[in-house]
Structure 1
Amino acid sequence: MASRLLLSFLLFLLISIATSSPPLLSNLKEKQTHLHFFFHDIVSGRNATAVPVTKPAAGAHPQSFFGMIAVMDDPLTDGPDRNSTLLGRAQGLYAATDQEEASLLMTMNLAFTAGKYNGSVLSVLGRNQPLHPVREMPIVGGSGLFRFARGYALARTHWFDLTTGDATVEYNVHVIHY
């Protein structure tokens, strides 16, 4: 009898929890945030911030770099000068995934280390065609002040050195979060 009563109580509790609205988002207000910063991808020299871990595939189209994968820990700054105020780091990897033209699969965390968003992260996963004037990549999540984030990042090459492969890219990020 006691076990039947306990089972009935547990079943009632489980049904109550399953049918109630999620308390996590019910009291939170959705926010929209615009972020503007510069991404510095340095692949040359002793202080490289992006390191290739594979070379392009043998016989790959010369403009595609197909098969190349690089790991990055690139600084994010408030201005185009690499010595401007450090806002955080772009940490992740990019892989050349198109056999015909330069096109990268970007998977990176934008980890902020300064200001209001210190300790917060935005996650980006998408296609980046670096030779196009503007690229759009999705924001697929976040943490800290960017919990439940979704949105997009627009990337524009600010500076690119054909000899070294080093680049500075301007980012405008629009994100909705709680």
Structure 2
Amino acid sequence: MNSTFKFKLIQALNKKNGNKGFTLIELLVVVIIIGVLAAIALPNLLGQVAKGRQAEARTNLGTINRAQQAYRLENATFTTVSNLPVITTSTYYGSVADQASGNINQLGAAHTVTANTTYQNDILDYGSAVGQTNAGVYSAVICEQTSNPSAAPGLLTVGPGTATAACANNARLIQ
């Protein structure tokens, strides 16, 4: 190889290594890409957090429904939540309460659970009902409030504790 060519090649490589780093344009492109990805991912992440919090209410009400069915099998009537031998969690929701308008009798029972005040704008209220027909068939539902509790405050109403449990107009069936 020609010595002048070698010299110029080495000189060019040395000069190129002196310009290390990012240009402002490259940095701006990276920041914009990260911003777009964050704008897409953040709403999805927040929705998943709310769904995780709402799982507490669904779990508690499912436990109450199963306990009511077991109590009905042993005692020929449904009972209040306080008489059931179950423990529920209350991190994001208050304790499970008997629905004020529901009759608790041998036909069925209804329950509600509302979000703690800290989370009222983020998560929905839930209700459940359980019943048994004369043929001995149990029906149990868990209902979710259809609108944000801050927009429509008040307890979720679940169909009265009758032989066939159902959701009311302001709720949708989730189980």
TM-score, L = length of structure 2: 0.31
TM-score, L = length of structure 1: 0.31
Higher strand share: 1
Structure whose alpha-carbon radius of gyration is higher: 2
Higher helix share: 2
**Larger RCO, structure (CA 8 Å, separation 6 or more):** 1
